[in-house]
A and B are shown apart, each in its own frame.
Chain A
Amino acid sequence: MTARRLDQGGRIDRATPLTFRWDGKELTGYAGDTLASALMANGERVLGRSFKYHRPRGIMSAGVEESGAIVSVGQGARQGPNVKATMQELYEGLEARGQNAWPNVRRDLGAVNGLFGRFLAAGFYYKTFMGVPLFEWGRGTGLWMKYETLIRKAAGMGRASREADPDQYDHAHAFCDVLVVGGGPAGLRAALTAAEAGRDVILVEQDFELGGDLLNDPAGEAERGALVRSVERAGVRVMTRTTAFGLYDMGVAGLVERVSDHLSAPAAYLPRQRFWTVRAGATVLATGALERSVAFGGNDRPGVMTANSGRSYLNRYGILPGERIVVATTNDSAYVTAGELAAAGAEVTIAEARNAPGCELPAGVTLRTGVAPLEAEGRSKLCALRLARPNGAGWQAAGREACDLLLVSGGWSPVVNLASHRGVKPEWDAELACFLAGDCDEPVYMAGSAAGVWTREACEISGVEVAMRAMGLASNPPAAGGWAAPIRPLYEVRLPGRKAKAFVDPQHDVTCSDVRLAHQEGFVSVEHLKRYTTLGMATDQGKMGNIIGLALMAEALGKEIPGVGTTRFRPPYTPVAIGALAGRNVHGHFKPLRRTPLHDWNLRQGATMTDAGLWHRPWYFAGPGETLGDAYVREAATVRQTVGICDVSSLGKIAVQGPDAAEFLNRVYTNGFAKLAIGKARYGIMLRDDGMVMDDGTTWRIGEADFLMTTTTTNAGRVMVWLEELLQLRWPELKVHVTSVTDQWAGVSVAGPKSRAVVAACLRDPDSVSHETLPFMGVAPVVLRDGTEGLIARISFSGELAFELYVPGNYGEAMMEQLWTAAARHEGCLYGLEALGTLRIEKGHVTGAELDGRVTIRDAGLGGMASTKKPYIGKVLQERPELQRPDRPRLVGILPKDRSKTFNGGALLCKPGALSGFGEGWVTAVTHSPALGHWIGLGYISGGHNQWVGQLAIAADPVRGEPVEVEIVSPHMFDPEGVRMHG
């Protein structure tokens, strides 16, 4: 096309010129231009290259259905690929580039793909992604992997930036009585009607101006302006540059508001976009209709556009898009466009597919009837259109028209996508040749052209009436239709035997022959057609080509269009930035951080933190020059030699209180709790209903009706929910209260031969922790020297003499200071999770790594804790035969046969020579053991260590390393009698 900016006309602000860059070249446009209109006015024709064949593409429309002018906008971290130039507002300094081409879109070496077109038809990768026969028979496809990387580089669209997104995005919520989607004549009238009736109304419009098709009519400005002012005065909340991208359950709509994508220098406090969740009492979809093209040879060439977009470029942007224009149409809507273009100085010919037009021929326009477009000629510049006329069931050639712009109107498709999100089935209207939305159970209503109403007057009435209906009042909306003469349904024009590429889905390079190929290969369902050809799966979601694809399929199947069915539209209507969905929940705000009362104290002591669920816990305390490996070995050794202190505040703590608390615990734990004495703690295991271990912990009896239950850090929430469920759903008669007190207590473990001395030094009454006063598993209230009251329990996870000291959270640091001062006198250390792990692995004590939800209490070597005398949760199902098999995996210790070697957590344990399948077991934990002097591990193996006496196993981890020979031993690898903690 030979487009040029006219001296007058359009809605652009000619007093505000803007400079922008296209592929490095500096160009000028105006405020009010889109990138597409500015490029068109500057005579840029080829703006992109197609996905597969790298065919030159130009502007095809003036709206959201654009499939040709797809470009990259922005620089560096803000580079955004696949931007529709028709939807990008021009701003000063905008940088845009062509994509999917080398060296550029105007001269692209990738065009050579077009020569291989025959081999790149739909689904070609299904037929070629195989091993080369003979060379690769039965061995997969190594050769393919090599040339697949080349194909990857050649295909695709824009490139995304690999840098972190520097922009902020906000989330917001809104509520309204009526949500109106679409600010054209129907939407404006609907919003006004509802607002004047006293309803709270939100009006959403994806364009930067309200008016819809009124913006394309210079004579409509007075009315548009008046309508917009009324809407604003009536108190409607107007949101332009905002797309309603999806409708969800219960009246919820998702919106994306583009706050600063159109600003050259946005204020720093502005988010780039806002993601709104709107809850609406009723929703009116005044989303309009999209014009569609026709499938004919070369219908993707630069210079071929939909008819109404020609009107848009003329009247919105003041551009004459061509000098010699052919308007190929099947319906009345294109005539006014033809007349206006002729009046602006172009030579215009209408190629009317019907035998007679339905309306008056405008002045200055030539008319040819009974002809349809057959093939657009010219490669990257349209030069002529070959025509065809009907010949029986087919077509025959009917001459040629020279032209530099071809405007096509194949019909109009109401935008029913949002209704389809709610499951509304589109129904085919044969007379109007389009789908209309069927009935909806929810308060979602179609208005205006979205309901198939074609004339402006009727659209405005439709808006009023549908708003009445949305408010639950009586209404009489106008019927669909409105053309003086009916449309001639036309989807494809071709001569048999003539090979010309006719595109159905230009973005994915899907042609008519691809659709026929799919049918030929047996993909006769519309769902398969879509996925096999990828028709409708590009960023336009089939806005340009779905109907044509369905019509071709119908023809191949020998059915009518309604018989073919439709696929379901899913959100988003147009692409949504992931950043908008994430909002502010990024980086450190992705998940909440839980800190123990000792968090800052630990950091001051040089702790390196690690994640334990949402918590930060000290991992290790590195001394000068120490690595993780150095630190944890030193910490574990120090604990066993003298004393160590560890922050255990993150463990779950639940107060279980009430007259029936003991009975409740007795039902929940596998071992007996009903007779636990006051002042004693007991280690307990609880099962799920299905007999598998859920969690372990110690529960302390502080009073007759007062217990403190501890759980693992990760399962604290789960156990709390479980206890509440049992009390409310199954045993509401029990008089028990459960309260989460995890954050209320700061807790530390003091462990090692000198632990008693350290603790005693911090208490008012040092005797309160003597061996006689506080035996193993004893619990008692305790008072620190500074008067702080707390609880102490003599329990040990490390296997050393150990105490857990709890004080109210705010006193945690003070307690820790006192203990640390005392420990320093014994050359004690602080220890973190890694050393804690080493100590417990040496002892064979289980954690969540072993109690992973797949094992029974017997598997974990704790079968002795399963009471035979009382019923408890999970008892019956844990006794089912499958869980009693002697070859079930059992907890074992693992030693490398060669003591200088190690193996990986997660490795599979296999019989030698049988490194396959799931093996005989797996490794759950690995550590270097200071007590034993070499690497050790814990894991499970079928039958347990008694079945593996004198037999080696192999720890196999083929993904990460070589297999290692291992000995299977009892899991209690250090101090198996527990002498050290009982002393």
Chain B
Amino acid sequence: MIRIPCPFCGPRDHAEFSYGGDGSITYPALDAPLEAWHDAVFLRENICGRQVETWQHVHGCRLWLKVERDTMSHEIYSVTPADPALAKVLEGGE
């Protein structure tokens, strides 16, 4: 019932998407130390309010998206493609 505005396909029902995870994580280099990987994989904030998440438009264009959503009201503040090059292309209206 939540609507997510896919940058490529337009506003769609959330049933077309699959939830990924925490979009604020930057994963370390593959050979980074154990502590860095532990924190990135296991530590999460439990946010009441705005948070950045990843979603994939699995029943549409298969874009991975960074979505800023309010966990209390489900309001969606922004949706951008996770891939910066794709984000740039779509922003330019190409």
Q: State the A residues within 8 Å of B (CB).
A: 248-250, 252, 441, 667, 689-690, 721, 724-725, 727-730, 732, 871-873, 875-877, 879-880
Contacts and interface: CB of A to CB of B under 8 A. Distances in A.
Which 3 A-B residue pairs are closest in the complex by CB-CB distance? A871-B30, A728-B64, A871-B31
Interface in B1-29: 1-3, 18, 20, 27, 29
Nearest to B58: A721
Nearest to B42: A690
A689 B21 CA distance: 13
Contact of A728 (B2, B33, B74, B81): B81
Contacts of A873: 30
A724 B64 contact: yes
Contacts of A729: 20, 54, 64, 82-83
Given A721-B56, A728-B64, A728-B86, A877 B41 contact: yes
B44 interface: no
B43 interface: no
B63 interface: yes
Given A729-B82, A732-B85, A250 B74 contact: yes
Given A441-B73, A689-B41, A877-B38, A250 B1 contact: yes
Interface string B52-64: 0010101000111
A876 B34 CA distance: 6
A549 B12 CA distance: 44
Contact of A252 (B1, B40, B58): B1
A727 B62 CA distance: 12
Contacts of B86: 728, 732
Contact of A876 (B3, B30, B73): B30
A747 B30 CA distance: 35
B1 A728 contact: no
A424 B73 CA distance: 13
Interface of B: 1-3, 18, 20, 27, 29-34, 37-38, 40-42, 54, 56, 58, 62-64, 73-74, 81-86
A207 B62 CA distance: 45
A735 to B, nearest CB: 11
Contacts of A724: 56, 62, 64
Given A724-B62, A873-B30, 17 more contacts: A249-B2, A250-B74, A252-B1, A689-B41, A690-B41, A690-B42, A721-B18, A721-B56, A721-B58, A724-B56, A725-B54, A725-B64, A876-B31, A876-B32, A877-B37, A877-B41, A880-B34
Contact of B20 (A689, A725, A871): A725
A880 B33 CA distance: 11
A724 B57 CA distance: 11
B1 A248 contact: yes
Contact of A732 (B3, B18, B74, B84): B84
Contact of B27 (A721, A728, A730, A871): A730
Nearest to B28: A876
Nearest to B72: A423
A732 B18 CA distance: 20
B78 to A, nearest CB: 16
9 contacts: A721-B56, A728-B86, A729-B20, A730-B27, A732-B83, A732-B84, A871-B29, A871-B31, A872-B30
A441 B73 CA distance: 9
A721 B38 CA distance: 23
B29 to A, nearest CB: 7
Contacts of B2: 249-250
A266 B38 CA distance: 63
Contacts of A725: 20, 54, 56, 64
A62 to B, nearest CB: 34
Contact of A250 (B3, B40, B81, B85): B3
A252 B14 CA distance: 13
Contacts of B42: 690
Contacts of A871: 29-31
A650 to B, nearest CB: 19
A875 B28 CA distance: 12
Contacts of A441: 73
Nearest to A667: B30
Contacts of B34: 876-877, 879-880
A879 B32 CA distance: 12
Nearest to A720: B62
Contacts of B82: 728-729, 732
Contacts of A250: 1-3, 74
Contacts of B58: 721
Contacts of A248: 1
Contacts of A880: 34, 38
B76 to A, nearest CB: 10
Nearest to A881: B34
Given A877-B34, A880-B34, A249 B56 contact: no
A876 B18 contact: no
Contact of B33 (A730, A732, A876): A876
Nearest to B56: A721
Contacts of B85: 732
Contacts of A721: 18, 56, 58
Nearest to B86: A728
Contacts of B63: 728
Nearest to A738: B62
B59 to A, nearest CB: 12
Contacts of A730: 27
B42 to A, nearest CB: 7
A604 to B, nearest CB: 34
Nearest to B54: A729
A725 B63 CA distance: 9
A727 B30 CA distance: 14
A872 B37 CA distance: 12
A730 B2 CA distance: 27
A27 to B, nearest CB: 45
B69 to A, nearest CB: 11
Contacts of B18: 721
Nearest to A248: B1
Contacts of A728: 63-64, 81-83, 86
Nearest to A277: B1
A101 B38 CA distance: 63
A689 B64 contact: no
A880 B41 CA distance: 13
B37 A689 contact: yes
Contacts of B81: 728
Nearest to B3: A250
Given A250-B3, A725-B20, A876 B64 contact: no
Nearest to A740: B62
Q: Kindly name the residue among A249, A441, A729, A873 whose own CB sees the greatest number of chain B CB atoms within 10 A.
A: A729
A441 B70 CA distance: 14
B12 to A, nearest CB: 12
B73 to A, nearest CB: 7
A724 B64 CA distance: 8
A876 B37 contact: yes
B85 to A, nearest CB: 6
A747 to B, nearest CB: 24
A149 to B, nearest CB: 42
A689 B32 contact: no
A732 B66 CA distance: 14
Nearest to B84: A732
Contacts of A879: 34
A20 to B, nearest CB: 40
Contact of A875 (B30, B38, B41, B64): B30
A63 B50 CA distance: 43
B3 to A, nearest CB: 6
B64 A249 contact: no
Contacts of A252: 1
Given A721-B18, A728-B82, A877-B37, A249 B74 contact: yes
Nearest to B33: A876
Nearest to A721: B56
A98 to B, nearest CB: 40
